[in-house]
Structure 1
Amino acid sequence: MVRSDHPKSRSRVLPRSKLGCRTCKIRRVKCGEEKPSCVRCTSTGRKCDFADTQSSSSSSSSSPISVITSPLSLSPNTNTVWRERRAFAYYFECAASSIGGGLDVDFWRTVVPQVCRYEPAVWDAIITISALFERPQQCLDPVRQHHDNSVSFTKSHQDALGWYSRSVSAVRQRIEQGSVDVFVGLISCVLFICIEAIQGNPDGAMQLYRQGLQLIAALRPQIALAATNKASLLEDTIIPIFIRLGTFALASGGVPVTALLRDTEDASSEQFDSLKSAREAIVLLAIEIPSFERTCYKHLHQAHVSQVPEELNTTLFSLAARLRNWRTTFDNLMTVLHAKDIVSLQQIGTGALLLSYYEMLYVMLETCTSLSFMQFDAYLPNFQNIVEQSAIAPKASVRSDGTQPPFTFDLNIGLPLWFTSLRCREPHTRRVALDLLRQAPSVQGFYQCSIWAGVGQIIMEQEESYAMAMNAVHLTPQFGAFNSTNGPISSSEIAVSSYSAHADMRPNIPIELLIPEEARIGPIAAFRPMDGFPLGTTEADIAKWNRGPDQVFLRFSRSERSLTGDPCRIVFKYIPLDF
């Protein structure tokens, strides 16, 4: 393939493919071209027919696979060209379907490879992702990388860094020349977010995410009324990707992703025609409900009141109605799919994943109008269902070798399990949530699940440590002390497979007495001194740790009861994070 800088080649975002199956052509929809049966047909129970495309497949130049035989690299080094070809083949055959999940195969296996045929920056980004995806440990475990003597291991990482640098340079050059296609810029932005996230750089990924939001805000009004492929690509594919990423962004402190929802926030559907439409609907709620929860907390905390104002109650009722409607419509969809006997293991896993999000959002809405952490104890069945569904959900993302991918851009079980690890205080359910979180795809969205699990472990141990001390003093003989027998349980004591057997291990001790109110940890935040301190934090608060300005600290709060009988006061604690 010869590199082309011709303006016409840059503006052609979606080359027309002649390799689609006959069924998709008749339906006038884009075919993913997976053989022997494409995903669009198999996911809807249709018969897939490639009979009319066989004769043209050898001569057509629009097949993504044809890129392998004519890569965009101009390097005269044969070994370099071979490594690029191999990286693209691995991306197309192994990585693409895992990165976006089965519901977004069109974008990752069709749109992106087609764009890379005439855009060298996209080609370089794809093969970078491929190299990092195949050997993620070189990014997520730098110590191991330093001591590994494998030549191929080191060379793969060097190739990835070189390709990424070349891709970024090409995009910057286009921007400086004013010749970059905005859609190519957005696609490159998505790919660069992948690369930064896989390398364990959430700050870099978040910065790119913000830039992508700015590009969308500038472009959306320009093509809002245009019935073109570009408008469809933006609204139906790229914006939903950024909205899904917004669920991860909100978990870290908030990004103004709600601006993308302005045309869809009031949208509702009487029925879902696929799991993909059900996912898009729950994603909108997964943006709005956590945002609403934060608004309620801010009002209750700052105004020192016990109730939210009427306008917030109105919003609460509206969100609750939409969430109930989603569940009813989702149940109807699953009934139809089961009746047609077309439910695959992947669809079962996807359905379980969406149910875990539903349970998380339900608990958020039920508890967002009170500051008491004791109220979460009433929702133990919901937390248990999150764990149960999260144990099934990996069927949707499991690879052919039985493992989970190292990275995914799609919704995954990370957020519901993270929520459960922080809000559920039943010891066994909580530990199973952390165990499942450690088994999930290593990187989801911007973040490493190992870090989430590590923080969840710290919070659990802190709460149980406080509870041990408090219960030893305050519990009556009727219940006994939270001693070595009934005290904190080691993580190795309980496995996922033994969850049901251990769930009711302590029937004689009320859950609320296991972790008293004063022992429960409130909102948490992570910060580095070099970036500034959270409101109310001073340098003296962390001086005792004797750490550098780039050290990441975890700040958390809990209630502390005065010995004189005065009302509880909020105290803040700080712990360095060393993982």
Structure 2
Amino acid sequence: MVRLEDLPGKTATRRAVRTKVRTGCITCRIRRVKCDEGKQSCNRCLSTGRVCDGYDLTVRVVNPLGRARQKGVARASGDLTMPPTLLNSILGTETEKNFFYTCRRATESGVALHICCVTSFWTRLAPQLSHEYDAVRHAVIAVGAAYHLHKVADITSIPRGTKEKIEIFILQQYNKSISILRQDILQKRYICDTGVVLICCLAYIYLESLRLNHAAAIKHLKNGIHIIESSVDLKSLRNHTSASHRHKGKSAILSTQDLWGIVLQFRNCELCMHCFSSEVPMTLGSKLYEKHSVNTAAAQPKSIRSIAEGHEARIQLASEVMSCDWQWQAFKHQPTFWVESHVHQELSSLRQRGRFIDLSLQAYMSSPAAPSKGTWEYYSLCMDMLHTVSILAVIELMPVPPEEHAILVHSASFQNEILGKMIAYGEEMHAVHTSLGWPPPDVSLETSIVGPMYWVYVYSAHPQDKKRAIKILQETKQREGPWDAKQILTMLKWDAERQCSCETLRKWGGDANCYEHFK
């Protein structure tokens, strides 16, 4: 059995107490070892399979893009800084503390690619509750170790022994968290355990996404949504959230705003994974859609005057469209179903709303209030425009069986109005993403650019557009839930070697079962 003392960050023998190391990189200062101060990363960290966290702990020099991102995060989620006492008081070994700190560094900007998707979960809830609940603490530590392994693998080769030790450590922390959570639930140790359990579930989803273990991530997502279905009154929660975001339940563990934010994260994860795997139903999205559709006033489209309004309109439309698509999957090969009056009316309504949102986003982008190019706000607006067009494609494809999607390759309107816009928006986003000083998260739980560029490639009839999509995928480094650019490129290469011309891959939205290629 590998002991924790043998893991990176702590030697097997006890080190003599020394004075604080005041120079060198952050990682070496935490370990209290002499740093060679190599730039950009010190060799002492890289040679032992560690991530060098840089040199300025208290003062960071950032460019305007980075500053814009930090301002956006502050607006979306409040103060990001954790009191030093919280970090220093975390229980555990030196190794556990180091990986807890790694997780904090990796998630301090909210683990979001869209400015409106930054929530209090990573910036405040998970770190703070790690000091109160052992299950959360071990889950966060496991995430930190998995992120460390993911990050180091992108920089340098990891010695096999070191990698195995870290993987064992991850599993130990993972199992501890699950075991403690089960015991606490059985013993009813929490007055109200729903929030804590959901926080652990989200951490597990993030952990398994880092490990590219899609099956386990899907399982945790389903478990979390089942808990929400059985334990959370969504209608009451929504009403309390709109009335007062500081209201708390009986246990005072989470505010209604915090719990609602967690529910929305599960909704976004469900939407992201549903477009990747047919094994993920739109359970939560359908529930939120049903409650929304009853309110006819809320269903009426409105002009978009801010990024937040545009994002909410796009997310709501996506949830409704993908929920309908999921509910109607069984009727794909029944032409008579699609001419029924209620189905035709529903599709027409969704199409009308989608086009209105698309035009409203374009109008906002052309207005004086639009964000400047090269900013996180601009990237976020382009993402909403990209996804809105992608949703319009789902609406058009909904009545068409997947095996007949090939006919759209020869449709000029589909090629120009759908795919042409998507590649243009994708390139705008990519230009911001690759700008100097841009600090995106390496792994997020939302879909951004990988899925849409994959669909552009498999549906486009223009070789030049295919090349543009491939270029973006090749240069995209972040992982978006289950959507990993490297895996997608491998799948496309495999399809090309079989000379299938993407025929078997032409499935969009809920039909696009990419997961079956990675089992």
State TM-score, norm by structure 1.
Answer: 0.62
- CA offsets, 1:484-508, max 9 Å, x none? xxxxxxxxxxxxxxxxxxxxxxxxx
* Cα pair 2:442 2:479 within 8 Å, conserved: yes
1:203 matched to 2:218? The reply is: no
Where does 1:4-15 land on structure 2 (aligned, <5 Å)?
none
Shift of 1:359: 1.6
Taking the aligned partners of 1:172 and 1:108, their CA distance within structure 2 comes to 23
State the match for 1:175 in structure 2: 185
State the match for 2:463 in structure 1: 427
Shift of 1:357: 0.7
- CA offsets, 1:95-141, max 9 Å, x none? 33262334315331122222222122212222221222232168899
State the match for 1:351 in structure 2: 381
* Cα pair 2:457 2:466 within 8 Å, conserved: yes
1:160 matched to 2:170? The reply is: yes
Shift of 1:308: 3.4
State the match for 2:231 in structure 1: 219
Taking the aligned partners of 1:45 and 1:450, their CA distance within structure 2 comes to 32
State the match for 1:327 in structure 2: 358
Secondary structure of the 1:178 match is coil
- Sequence identity percentage: 17
Taking the aligned partners of 1:327 and 1:355, their CA distance within structure 2 comes to 7
Secondary structure of the 1:279 match is helix
Shift of 1:344: 5.8
Taking the aligned partners of 1:466 and 1:150, their CA distance within structure 2 comes to 37
Shift of 1:171: 0.9
User: Alpha carbons of 1:158 and 1:330: their partners in 2 closer, same or farther (altered >3 Å)?
Assistant: same
State the match for 1:18 in structure 2: none
1:260 to 288, 293, 296: 288
Taking the aligned partners of 1:114 and 1:451, their CA distance within structure 2 comes to 35
Taking the aligned partners of 2:422 and 2:256, their CA distance within structure 1 comes to 35
Shift of 1:264: 3.1
- CA offsets, 1:54-78, max 9 Å, x none? xxx9xxxx945432211122xxxxx
Secondary structure of the 2:232 match is helix
State the match for 2:313 in structure 1: 281
* Cα pair 2:443 2:480 within 8 Å, conserved: yes
Taking the aligned partners of 1:41 and 1:135, their CA distance within structure 2 comes to 26
1:270 to 277, 284, 302: 302
* Cα pair 2:99 2:144 within 8 Å, conserved: yes
Where does 1:549-560 land on structure 2 (aligned, <5 Å)?
none
* Cα pair 1:189 1:212 within 8 Å, conserved: yes
Deviates more, 1:121-130 or 1:291-300: 291-300
* Cα pair 1:421 1:456 within 8 Å, conserved: no
Shift of 1:190: 0.6
User: Alpha carbons of 1:165 and 1:64: their partners in 2 closer, same or farther (altered >3 Å)?
Assistant: farther
Shift of 1:461: 5.5
Taking the aligned partners of 1:264 and 1:427, their CA distance within structure 2 comes to 42
User: Alpha carbons of 1:344 and 1:423: their partners in 2 closer, same or farther (altered >3 Å)?
Assistant: closer
* Cα pair 1:526 1:553 within 8 Å, conserved: yes
User: Alpha carbons of 1:520 and 1:110: their partners in 2 closer, same or farther (altered >3 Å)?
Assistant: closer
Secondary structure of the 1:209 match is helix
- Number of equivalent positions: 422
Taking the aligned partners of 2:70 and 2:137, their CA distance within structure 1 comes to 28
Secondary structure of the 2:291 match is coil
Taking the aligned partners of 2:320 and 2:433, their CA distance within structure 1 comes to 26
Taking the aligned partners of 1:140 and 1:308, their CA distance within structure 2 comes to 51
- CA offsets, 1:310-364, max 9 Å, x none? 322111111012212322443454455x447667611111112111111211222
State the match for 1:90 in structure 2: 102
1:134 matched to 2:164? The reply is: no
State the match for 2:90 in structure 1: 71
State the match for 1:117 in structure 2: 131
Taking the aligned partners of 2:450 and 2:70, their CA distance within structure 1 comes to 30
1:384 matched to 2:428? The reply is: no
* Cα pair 2:195 2:259 within 8 Å, conserved: no
Structure with the greater relative contact order (CA < 8 A, sep ≥ 6): 1 or 2? Answer: 2
Taking the aligned partners of 2:485 and 2:131, their CA distance within structure 1 comes to 34
Deviates more, 1:227-236 or 1:205-214: 227-236
User: Alpha carbons of 1:91 and 1:326: their partners in 2 closer, same or farther (altered >3 Å)?
Assistant: same
Taking the aligned partners of 1:352 and 1:520, their CA distance within structure 2 comes to 29
Taking the aligned partners of 1:407 and 1:353, their CA distance within structure 2 comes to 17
Taking the aligned partners of 2:134 and 2:82, their CA distance within structure 1 comes to 17
Taking the aligned partners of 1:358 and 1:440, their CA distance within structure 2 comes to 21
Taking the aligned partners of 1:364 and 1:156, their CA distance within structure 2 comes to 42
State the match for 2:345 in structure 1: 314
Q: Which amino acid aligns with 1:259?
A: K
Give the RMSD, CA atoms, in angstroms.
4.1
State the match for 2:390 in structure 1: 360
| Unaligned residue ranges in structure 2 (runs of 5+) | 1-58, 249-253
Q: Which amino acid aligns with 1:127?
A: I
* Cα pair 1:100 1:108 within 8 Å, conserved: no
Shift of 1:234: 5.3
Q: Rg bigger for which structure?
A: 1
- CA offsets, 1:498-528, max 9 Å, x none? xxxxxxxxxxxxxxxxx9xxx676657869x
Taking the aligned partners of 1:112 and 1:64, their CA distance within structure 2 comes to 14
Secondary structure of the 1:417 match is helix
Shift of 1:417: 1.7
Taking the aligned partners of 1:306 and 1:96, their CA distance within structure 2 comes to 49
State TM-score, norm by structure 2.
Answer: 0.69
State the match for 1:191 in structure 2: 203
Shift of 1:431: 3.8
Shift of 1:195: 0.8
Deviates more, 1:246-255 or 1:397-406: 397-406
Shift of 1:413: 0.9
Taking the aligned partners of 1:88 and 1:397, their CA distance within structure 2 comes to 27
Q: Which amino acid aligns with 2:392?
A: Y
User: Alpha carbons of 1:297 and 1:348: their partners in 2 closer, same or farther (altered >3 Å)?
Assistant: same
Shift of 1:451: 2.9
Deviates more, 1:190-199 or 1:247-256: 247-256
1:239 matched to 2:263? The reply is: yes
State the match for 1:474 in structure 2: none
Shift of 1:155: 4.4
Q: Which amino acid aligns with 2:343?
A: L
Taking the aligned partners of 2:446 and 2:202, their CA distance within structure 1 comes to 13
Secondary structure of the 1:97 match is coil
Secondary structure of the 1:165 match is helix
Where does 1:407-422 land on structure 2 (aligned, <5 Å)?
407-422=443-458
- CA offsets, 1:139-182, max 9 Å, x none? 899xx98xx42765554444333322222221111122122421
Shift of 1:274: 4.1
